[in-house]
Amino acid sequence: MCVRSWVRAWAPAAIWAIFLFILSATPGSDLPELPGNSDKLVHGAVYAVLGALCFWGVRFTSAFGPPRAVALATGLAALFGITDEFHQAFTPKRTPADWRDAAADAIGGLIGAFALGLLLSRRRDS
């Protein structure tokens, strides 16, 4: 596989990860306040995107089949979520690292990776 293909496969996930990093570096006072635990839904949603983009990268740069690609993509999204929680702990006016946020990130990553895997497999079967 050439470098250009590898970059094309992984650039969307890298760009989205940079976007998430920038969001985590934003002081809490600059973010809208969300009611209750709805922030877990936001975590899940943005990490579903990361999970799907990681699945895309894994699928097109490895020989892994869909189940392993989903597992690896989920692991990558979850690992990024954990490191992002740690990073956020050093951002002014943000809550300290929260395992529930990291869990929402991992679940979102799984949902995104699984959904894209399912979509691509159905598309190929048609």
pLDDT of the chain along its 126 residues, tens only?
Answer: 688 999 999 999 999 999 999 998 888 666 777 777 788 999 999 999 999 999 999 999 999 999 999 999 999 999 999 999 998 888 887 778 889 999 999 999 999 999 999 999 887 765
Q: Is there a contact between 99 and 78 (Cβ–Cβ < 8 Å)?
A: no
The DSSP line for 71-117 is HHHHHHHHHHHHHHHHHHTTSTT-PPP-HHHHHHHHHHHHHHHHHHH
Contacts 24+ apart (CB under 8 A), 79-82: 80/17, 80/20, 80/50, 80/105, 81/43, 81/47, 81/105, 81/106, 81/109
Check residue 20 and give its pLDDT. 96
Check residue 1 and give its pLDDT. 67
Check residue 30 and give its pLDDT. 66
| pTM (predicted TM-score) | 0.91
Q: 55: how many CB neighbours lie within 10 A of its CB?
A: 30
Check residue 39 and give its pLDDT. 86
Q: Is there a contact between 64 and 31 (Cβ–Cβ < 8 Å)?
A: no
Residue 74 to residue 111: CA distance in whole angstroms: 8
Check residue 84 and give its pLDDT. 93
Check residue 93 and give its pLDDT. 77
Burial of 77 (0-12, 13-18, 19+ CB in 10 A): buried
Check residue 88 and give its pLDDT. 86
Check residue 33 and give its pLDDT. 77
